[in-house]
Every structure is written in C-alpha cells, then in structure tokens.
Amino acid sequence: MKAFFSEEQLLHTPQQFMRLGRISAPTDLPSRAHSLQGALAARGIAVQAPPDYGRQPLEAIHSADYLDYLETAFTRWQALKAPGVDPGPEVLPNLSPYYSGRVESAGRGPCPSPSIVAQTGYYLSDLSCPIGPHTWRSALRSTHSAVAAAEHVAATGGSAYALCRPSGHHAHRDRAGGFCYLNSSAAAAARLLQTWSKVAVLDVDAHHGDGTQNIFYQRADVMTVSLHADPTGYYPFYTGYAHERGHGAGEGCNLNLPLPHGAGNDPFLRALDSALAALAGYGPQALVLALGFDTYKDDPISVLKLDIDAYRDIGARVASLGVPTVVVQEGGYMVQAIGPALDAFLQGLARA
C-alpha cells in the first residue's frame, strides 16, 4: 500500500472554536497527523508527497465562488484593520444565513454581497472552521493527497491511503463546517469517476458525512453510505437520517445508518455489514472509505464506544468488498489512540 501526505498540511494551526457557548481549545491539531505518520512508519509504509494539482480537481465538487472565498479570506479579513476596527487573528463568522439542510436548499448561488463579513457568514456554516494564514494551503494539499491516492488506485487497481488533515467530509459544495474546508473524500470519488462509471463512498466516521452526501445527493454514479451516531443529538444535527435516500437521479443512492449513542463494536459492525450488503447490491467498481477514528470510546468528542479491535474488523470487512479502495482519513481526536487505530485497521485491510 502507498500513502500520501504533504507536510504543508501541518501548517493549519487553528487557535479556537466555539462549543456549547464557550471558546474552546481546538482538537484538529498537527499532532494528529504526526500520530498517523508514526503508525505508517511502523508498518513500513512509504509516505509520498502528492503532486500540486492546484484547484482543478476541486472544480467538480465545489463552486468557484466558494473556492475564491477560501483562497482569499484571510488576506481580506486582515485588510479590515482600520482605526476602531480590529478583526481577530482568524476568520470567523458573526452572522449566518438560514440553511435547513434540505436538498432544495443546496443550490445556492454566489453570496450576493462582496463584503468579507457577509461572505464569511455565507460560506462558513459554524464556528468550528477558523481560517488562519495557512488554512487554504493546508486544506488544498489535503485534497491533493486524496486525489493522488485515487490516481494510484486507478492506475493499479489496488488500495492507497490518504492522510487527509484537515478532514473533509463536512465540507459542502459551497460551505465549510465541522473542521472541514474542502471535501477530500468527494475529490477522491470524482477522480475515480474518470476511470470507472460507478463509485461508492462509505463513511465510518462518528459524524454523518453531510458534505459528501450533499455533493452527490442527486447523482446515480456515486452511492454514499454513512454510519454515524444518531444526529438528533449530535453534529451535524440537520442531516444523517435514515429517510434521506437521494433525490432525482440519485434516488436510492444514499443510505444513512444512524447508531444509538453509546453503541460499541457489535452494533457498529452489524451496521457495517448492512452497509456492505447495500454496496454490493449497487455494484461499485471502486470505493472511497472515509475513515474516522472519532468512533473510539475515549475520543474527546465521540458518543460511540468502539475499541481498537473494532478497526481491525472494519478493515477486514471493507477489504471483503473486493474493489479498488481509496482510504481517506477523516476525524479522530485522541492523539494517543489514532495511531494504534490506524495500525489495527491496516492489519485488517491486509489480512482479508
């Protein structure tokens, strides 16, 4: 197996995010990547820097106006400085337009206002996505890692791992959210579609992959399946329900399997078996696995209770699908655990 990661992905160092009405210390820190790199090194897996693809791979999944915003937001924010005006060190919204999560709300046009303040409210859906001086570049290079992994899988028919940080599965076509700015899993799927006609994205992060669902919800060439904690009391709250099955051409090509809070290995693996059966019925020619370790029992923001052994079983079950697979790293915030979790997953993936 090959792995892909750019050192530029370490440059994004958020200073804060808002949680439960309090400014909190960030959880998506560069130390996450260091832990995962250590696990790869211990298994003798070479890590390769991805090519610089620029914005081109993102144009199939994100709107041009959103990409323009992300690329320029920090510089424009700092330009607000004037007598009596002191913008904070990171770009964060102080207003937001109404957005319900309904599919009919997904086709917004560009923000009608040129104001950086207005656009920040329009393009950042919550207070977990501060934009600092290196956020754009780190997020861009994270998606490049996913695209490079997809290129490798398309060329070899095997598997590859993209160490994506910042994560991506909460990034919608035109908005950031949940620590995610650009959707790496969707970018990998878009690249696989250049080689194959049917692709699937299986998301096993603790949180619903709302951005990925949103991007492909009306398409039949990508099936999206997400296992996650019940969103009635957990982020992203507005999507991730079992009745969401796709729309238009994509009807029947989306599957959500919400799990009760506190669910451990057995219920999670049963849900995974159901997901894999649905995927087998769809018949994808290639797979993107959005792999999150925030399902771990001691993760600081998880409500699921998996132990390390579960990730070995997840790897083996995913491999049993028998299709070329891009593994894209998503969440997981207990730094001491995510390295062992990745090691266990890779053991299972290799043994199947």
Are 49 and 176 contacting, i.e. CB atoms less than 8 angstroms apart? no
Tell me the sheet residues that pair with 40. none
Residue 44, Ramachandran bin (φ over 0: left; ψ between -120 and 50: alpha; else beta): left
Max CA pair span of the chain: 64
Report the C-alpha gap between 230 and 185 in whole angstroms.
21
Count CA within 13 A, CB hemisphere, residue 63.
17
Comparing CA positions, the residue from 42, 43, 32 lying closest to residue 5 is 32
DSSP H helical segments within the chain, as ranges? 30-42, 64-78, 116-123, 135-156, 184-192, 210-216, 265-282, 308-319, 335-351
Question: Looking at 170, 172, 208, 228, which residue is catalytic?
Answer: 170
What spatial distance separates the first Cα and last Cα of the chain, rounded to whole Å?
A: 14
Sign of the CA dihedral running 129, 130, 136, 142: negative
Q: Is 170 a catalytic residue?
A: yes
Are 290 and 185 contacting, i.e. CB atoms less than 8 angstroms apart? yes
Interstrand relation of 17-19 and 22-24 (parallel, antiparallel or unpaired): antiparallel
Active site members: 170
